A = this chain, B = another copy of it.
Amino acid sequence: MSRKSDQRAQATKALASHILENGLAQTSLRQLAAAAGVSDRMLLYYFEDKTEALTAALGAIAAEMTAALATVIPEGEKLSAGELFEKLSALTMSAKFKPYMRISMEMIAASNDESAPYGAISNSIATGFLHWIAGNLVSDAGSDTNGDAAAILALLDGLIVLSICAGDDTALLARNRLVETAFRAKN
């Protein structure tokens, strides 16, 4: 029982990085197995089936994403909505983070058809993200923490979509515009 779980863990890592590089679209068992350096037969020995393999890999990717989030704000320090949006958008639009957002988009787009676990995974990532954002917002009297968190996540997602389908320059234009006014005090 030792060998299998070890190699399974190692394969999970390899699958995660392969998916990050190549997306979710072309992920046949044989491709995934080659990327992990094993035979397809072995991949189905480590994992119950393809869905379980993908779920494990996507789980690892999600973990990396949430770990990256922690780096954008000082330990346990709460920020205003405007500051948090500025810092988070800088992260999510960075070249290093783009692959993660790309995969997220693929999962979200694929979550409509009920095959594959994409819907459940993207949903749990989104709600986790929302809670994390809400938990790092200062809660002024009269402020709507949940509304702010939802708005921030919408903006982050929107900027990523825009960068994909209209280019990075347009996305930066939108970000600059939104940083200015989107979360200013309600006066």
Which A residues are closer than 8 A to B by beta carbons? 22-23, 25-26, 102, 105-113, 122-123, 125-127, 130, 144, 146-148, 150-151, 153-159, 161-162, 164-166, 170-171, 173-178, 180-184, 186
Contacts and interface: CB of A to CB of B under 8 A. Distances in A.
Complex copy number for this chain = 2
A166 B126 contact: yes
Nearest to A24: B109
Given A107-B165, A109-B110, 15 more contacts: A106-B112, A108-B109, A109-B109, A123-B166, A150-B162, A150-B174, A154-B158, A154-B159, A154-B161, A154-B162, A154-B178, A157-B157, A158-B159, A158-B161, A181-B181
Contacts of A113: 22-23, 25-26
Given A105-B105, A109-B110, A144-B177, A153 B162 contact: yes
Contacts of A107: 165
B112 A23 contact: yes
Contact of A147 (B125, B151, B177): B177
18 contacts: A23-B112, A106-B112, A107-B165, A108-B109, A108-B165, A126-B166, A127-B166, A147-B177, A151-B174, A151-B178, A154-B155, A155-B155, A155-B158, A157-B161, A158-B158, A181-B182, A182-B182, A184-B184
Contacts of A166: 123, 126-127, 130, 150, 153
